[in-house]
Structure 1
Amino acid sequence: MNTDSLTTPGAPAREPSTWRPGVGVAALGGLVSIGLGLALAELLAVLGGRLSLTGAAASPLTSLGQSFIGLTPEWLKQFAISTFGQNDKVALTVGMGVTVAIAAAVIGIVARWRLTVAVVVAAALLVVAGIAILTRTGSGPVDLLPLVIGGVAGVALLITLFRRAGDPEAALTGEVHSGSGGRADRRRFLQWAGIGAAGAAVAGVAARFLPNSAQSAASRGSITLPTPTDVQQIASDVALDVPGLTPFVTDNANFYRVDTAFVVPQLTTQGWQLRIHGLVDREITLDFDALTGRPALQRMITLTCVSNPVGGDLAGNATWQGVRLADLLAEAGPQDGADCVLSTSVDGFTVTTPLAALTDGRDALLAYAMNGEPLPVEHGFPVRMVVPGLYGYVSATKWVVDLEVTKFADVSAYWTDRGWAAQAPIKTASRIDVPASFANLPVGTVTVAGVAWAQHRGVAKVQVRVDKGEWQDATLSGDVSVDTWRQWEWQWPADRGQHTIECRAIDGNGDAQAEQVVGTVPDGATGLDSRVVTVTV
């Protein structure tokens, strides 16, 4: 006997069981739907870039990340740099991923209650991503196509999932009434969720591993660097042999990187051009072959980031090869009244540099090689600026494509718009590398060593003191030029107890490093690096 057909006399007929996804399952549905949309959009953006149909702005995640960087308040940027250092972009990626995941889960939970509202929220998220795309440098309406296609796919899956969980006739009303039995609806929900998850995974993996940077890598690998006509001679005594001491030359892989590019621009030498214009007598446009065909210099120059805290590691020393900027500017013929060069990266980042710093005889370069090889992509390939004596945010434009000779009174740049100083010569600084903080040391002679820099003034002396005692002169490594750092070491006759070691540098003008503790904003930190150590028997 079929007991399901029995009813109690006078009682209403029983409706088939109704299944409604739980909160966790609904959140999963939102994650899968939004994940599919974004993954598909990313894949289409990569394919569009490979086919030259869309630009870098077409990536919704990259555009959102770049917009977040632009909108982040200065205190938060400095916190990220000081906390995560060169991994700040990784931290941003993780944070953005968590935020998007939470938003997607909320959309799924809302869809469990009212599908129409969830679709509106999802559409709003797409609008935000679309705005981020359109506000990026060089973007156009065609760059929205990957987002639109991916967004439609994601919203369609969202509707399919939560409509399948209820009555197909309910459409977007959000009412959940099962006319076909809860078990079948649950099965269809999970089937569609599985299909969507698989699609998102395939699209995401393809977008991640498609060689969208292959052209840039191939271009870099095909370069034969010209022989420099002016090579700086380096003496053999510039490096000290002290274990734990920072190497005199920073290799490319370990050279610090701090910039606003959420994703590293991918350029080729064939597609690169530099325009020099503005308050000049003659506008100049150069391609890569024309640049590398000019007389080249090879110089060792130390660069420093303005965000480097006292004792920080956002400084590096490398050998750069390139063309002297002063020669190019002389050909263009700066006009009277010009005092600034506004340089622009391919991603729209801008820098204002004093014209005098580019024309006063220092080795300011348009560099295309670093430590004997073409510039690494993350360090500005194919061409960047290298200007001794100035913090990077007012001099060291990577992926540079435009130089406008102008006046400080008429222009501002990315960081100066955010409260940083327009004039930012590098301050004298020194750092202790060994011993490490809170080290336990034996009684006897202890080597204290580190590096010091005072670009374009040079380091004349480094001194060390213990427990606020008298300053003692350290031994300096050989000197390359006023634009490079120097290593130093001091032999300390350590006695038992806890001690504080401090160091300071004195520049080529005879001025001692500032002892007053000042933060990085607006033009670089000051203060003395120190180490607290314990000496035991």
Structure 2
Amino acid sequence: MGTRSKEPATGRPGSRTRRLLASAATGVIAAGALFAVAQLLSAFFSAASSPLTSVGSTFIDFTPAWMKNFAIATFGTNDKTVLLLSVAAAAIVLSALAGVAARKWFAAGAGMVGAFAVVMAACIITRAGATVPDLLPLLAGTASGLAVLRFLTGAATPRHTAPATGGSMDSGAARPTRRTFLVRSAVVAGAAVVVGVGGTLLSTARNTARQVRAALKLPDPRTPAAALPAGVQSPVQGVAPFVTPNADFYRIDTALVVPELDPGNWALRVHGMVENEFTMTFGELLAAELVETYVTLTCVSNVVGGNLAGNAKWLGYPLREVMARAKPRAGADMVLSTSSDGFSASTPLPVLQDGRDALLAVGMNGEPLPLEHGFPVRMVVPGLYGFVSATKWVVDLEVTTFAAKAGYWTSRGWSSHGPIKTASRVEVPRALARVPAGRVGIGGSAWAQQRGISKVEVQLDGGAWQAATLAAEASVDTWRQWSHEWDGAAAGTHNVRVRAYDADGTLQDERQASPEPDGSTGWHSITFTVV
């Protein structure tokens, strides 16, 4: 195992390159076997037992804020896909290096694999809810990976015999060895793919969350949502729907893989600085007096004019009733909510006790919460950015203080309270769009949750500000759409800016500021061309 292989130097660059590529391939295939076996066995353990998922989630936890902002601004809701691809690319490079090292000295390559396994084990055991048995899939996968590495390394290292008369050193036993390597590699790689896909299918089959959600019938709300007034939708074609379809609702969270929780096993623990600690099951939650309301949610990472905002009809149990049952003690000023994957948010306690419709939500737009939006239960709090309020897959509420505890993002330099700032955006025309001359419809949305929007103004090509036409207001907790008709738009390049006023008449902040630490500010501006 620890001996160095002795290879005759042929002096032929092509031969050395082929051997190097073959050795790199052994490492990559061995890594594939490791992850495939681990994925298969992780179906019988918690979600944290998947090495790739845990490594990616740990990477998210330790990624600097500026890098996260860049990823969200650049890739939007595809940031997790990009992260998974990046982790996979890093694994391929590292495993290829291990394969190359194993060609000269197997112990060196095996040692690299062992070192990678130790790092992955640390990532697994530090995930929320992980236990020691969750390391077993990784251990089995590592053993399989090392076995594959050993199995293929011998075939990837050409063994030369004396050539026949007139033959070359590369034409003797090297060709059969090369064929042997290709056959072995194809067989092992194919088996790894089958095992990996089988593991994914098995995980899906063993998890009942999707099946339960599909069969779940939500109860009728004790207090239905008020009917939407006529005219809440902007008349300009292309403006976002007033109610965002579930499939189009933005998703920003720290869960690399969507948690799949069985509602039958779900429970919410309420504890901390309270007189009455208790646990609520999903059945108890559905039997409570549920209310229904429209609320616009906004991500603090949303840049000026960004699309990380959505409006939906939510069904849930008022959090003020949860707090009334818990009876917070004097001195408490914050509720730390925690999700099943370890994310936490710090919500000001008074916000959960006043008259706003802060909910433990179970429904979204007339159906159970989609898995990616928090099924079976999430928090919805009007007026606060999601990073301090909208905890998905919530399982724990601890009444505490801001001095004693900090949420996930607050501990990473973001603000602790997160009130939503007044914002507006131009949705039509799209930036850099080409539109026909004549009458040009301009439209978009504005929001100032818990305050409402009283006026929106647009500016064309740096001219005077003009009042836009406001659509009807559903409530102060939802966005308000607007429109403006520009007659006689001449051919050429034009610019439009927008700004909004809240219900108190306070103008939206003009200063350009990035999202960190408490939300972006600035007036949205787009350029388009009339042809």
Q: Could you say whether these structures have the same fold, taking a TM-score greater than 0.5 normalized by the shorter chain as the test?
A: yes
CA contact (8 A) 1:27 1:104 kept: yes
Alignment of 1:255-274 (within 5 A): 255-274=249-268
CA distance in 1, matches of 2:94, 2:344: 33
Q: Which secondary structure does the structure 2 equivalent of 1:430 belong to? A: strand
8 Å Cα contact 2:207-2:262 kept in structure 1:
no
What is the alpha-carbon distance in structure 1 between the residues aligned to residue 418 and residue 511 of structure 2? 18
Correspondence 1:499 to 2:494? yes
Spell out the pairing of 1:479-518 with structure 2 (5 A cutoff). Answer: 479-496=473-490, 497-518=492-513
The answer to whether the 8 Å contact 1:494/1:535 transfers is no
The partner residue of 1:88 within 60, 79, 82 is 79
Post-superposition shift, 1:535?
3.4
What amino acid does structure 1 have at the position aligned with 2:503? G
Q: Percent identity?
A: 48
Instruction: Tell me how far 1:166 sits from its aligned partner.
Output: 6.0
| Structure 1 residue 498, shift from structure 2 partner | 2.9
Deviation at 1:102, TM superposition (A): 0.9
Q: Which amino acid aligns with 2:138?
A: L
**Structure 1 position 165, deviation (Å):** 5.3
Partners in 2 of 1:63 and 1:231 — Cα distance?
41
Letter in 1 for 2:525: S
Shift of 1:531: 1.6
Pairing 1:97–2:88 present:
yes
Tell me which residue corresponds to 1:194: 186
Task: Report the counterpart of residue 520 of structure 2 in structure 1.
Answer: 525
List runs of 5+ in structure 1 lacking aligned partners. 1-14, 49-53, 169-177
Aligned to 1:332: 326
Q: In the alignment, residue 199 of structure 2 is paired with which amino acid? A: A
Report if the CA contact (8 A) 1:517-1:527 is conserved.
Answer: yes
Which residue in 2 is equivalent to 1:11? none
Q: CA deviation at 1:181?
A: 4.8
3-state secondary structure, aligned to 2:208:
helix
**Distance change >3 Å, CA 213–CA 408, structure 1 → 2:** farther
CA distances 1:62-83 after superposition (whole Å, capped 9, x unpaired): 0111011111111111111011
Q: Does the 8 A contact of 1:374 with 1:382 survive in 2?
A: yes
Question: 3-state DSSP class of the match of 1:270?
Answer: helix
**Residues 398-430 of structure 1: CA distance to partner in whole angstroms, max 9, x if unpaired?**
000000001100001110111000021101011
From 349, 372, 376, the counterpart of 1:378:
372
Question: 1:302 and 2:290 equivalent?
Answer: no
Decide which moves more: 249-258 or 95-104. 95-104
Q: What secondary structure, in the 3-state scheme, does the structure 2 residue paired with 1:367 have?
A: strand
CA distance in 2, matches of 1:464, 1:517: 18
Contact 1:249–1:318 (8 Å) recurs in 2: yes
Aligned counterparts, 1:246-325, within 5 A: 246-325=240-319
Structure 2 residue identity aligned to 1:227: D
The 1:276/1:95 distance shift into structure 2, 3 A limit, reads same
Does the 8 Å CA contact 2:207/2:260 hold for their aligned counterparts?
no
Q: Look up the match of 1:75.
A: 66
Q: Which residue of 2 aligns with 1:160?
A: 151
C-alpha distance 351-425 of structure 1, shift in aligned 2 (>3 A):
same
Q: 2:42 aligns with which of 45, 61, 66?
A: 45
Partners of 1:400 and 1:406 lie apart in 2 by: 17
In structure 2, what residue type is equivalent to 1:484?
T
Q: CA deviation at 1:316?
A: 0.1
Q: Secondary structure at the match of 1:22?
A: helix
Could you say if the C-alpha distance between residues 299 and 213 of structure 1 is closer, same or farther in structure 2, counting changes exceeding 3 Å? farther
| Deviation, structure 1 residue 142 | 0.5
Letter in 1 for 2:244: T
RMSD: 2.1
Q: Does residue 1:138 correspond to 2:135, yes or no?
A: no
Distance 2:101 2:257 in 1: 33
Contact 2:234 2:443 in 1 (8 A): no
Q: Is the 8 A contact 2:441 2:485 kept in 1?
A: yes
- The Cα offsets for residues 444-491 of structure 1, whole Å up to 9 and x where unpaired, read as 322110011000000111111112322211111111111000111011
Moved more, 436-445 or 424-433: 436-445
Q: What's 1:220 paired with?
A: 213
TM-superposition CA deviations, 1:35-63 (whole Å, max 9, x none): 111111111112x1xxxxx2111100101
**Aligned counterpart, 1:60:** 51
Contact 1:462 1:488 in 2 (8 A): yes
Residue 196 of structure 1: CA displacement? 1.4
Instruction: Measure the CA separation in 2 of the matches of 1:365 and 1:476.
Output: 28
Judge conservation of contact 1:32–1:197 (CA < 8 Å) in 2.
yes
1:35 to 29, 32, 35: 32
CA distance in 2, matches of 1:278, 1:198: 52
SS at match of 1:330: helix
CA 34–439 in structure 1, closer or farther in 2 if over 3 Å, else same: closer
CA distance in 2, matches of 1:119, 1:167: 20
* Structural mapping, 1:110-125, within 5 Å: 110-125=101-116
Q: How does 1:343-358 map to 2 (within 5 A)?
A: 343-358=337-352
Residue 19 of structure 2: aligned partner: 22
Aligned length: 506
Distance 2:360 2:236 in 1: 34
1:4-49: CA deviations, max 9, x gaps? xxxxxxxxxxx9x9x9861111111111111111111111112x1x
Matched to 1:207, the amino acid is G
- Output aligned runs, 1:382-531, within 5 Å: 382-496=376-490, 497-531=492-526
| Amino acid aligned to 1:112 | R
Q: Secondary structure at the match of 1:464?
A: strand
1:242 aligned to which of 231, 236, 244: 236
Provide, for residues 303-356 of structure 1, a one-character-per-residue CA deviation record: whole Å limited to 9, x for no partner.
000000000000000000000000110111011000000000011111000001
Instruction: Give the Cα–Cα distance (whole angstroms) in 2 for the partners of residues 40 and 197 of structure 1.
Output: 12
Q: Is the 8 A contact 1:338 1:407 kept in 2?
A: yes
Determine the C-alpha separation between the residues in 2 that align with 1:495 and 1:164. 72
Q: 2:265 aligns to what SS in structure 1?
A: coil
Q: Which structure has the larger Rg over C-alpha atoms?
A: 1
Tell me the residue number matched to 2:164. none
Deviation at 1:164, TM superposition (A): 4.7
What is the SS of the residue equivalent to 2:194? helix
* Worse-superposed segment, 505-514 or 439-448: 439-448
Asked if the contact 2:235/2:483 (under 8 Å) is kept, the reply is no
Shift of 1:208: 2.8
Question: Which amino acid is the alignment partner of residue 221 of structure 2?
Answer: P
Partners of 2:184 and 2:434 in 1: CA distance: 61
Equivalent residue of 2:232, what SS?
coil
Q: 1:492: Cα distance to partner?
A: 1.5
Q: What secondary structure sits across from 1:368 in the alignment?
A: strand
Equivalent position amino acid for 1:505 in 2: A
Deviation of residue 441 (structure 1)? 3.6
Instruction: Find the residue that maps to 1:158 and give its secondary structure.
Output: helix
Q: Secondary structure at the match of 1:260?
A: coil
State the AA in 1 paired with 2:190: A
The alpha-carbon distance between structure 1 residues 401 and 443, as it changes in their structure 2 partners (threshold 3 A), is same
The 8 Å contact of residues 234 and 444 in structure 2, kept in 1 or not, is answered as no
Flag structure 2 segments of 5+ consecutive residues without an equivalent.
1-7, 160-169
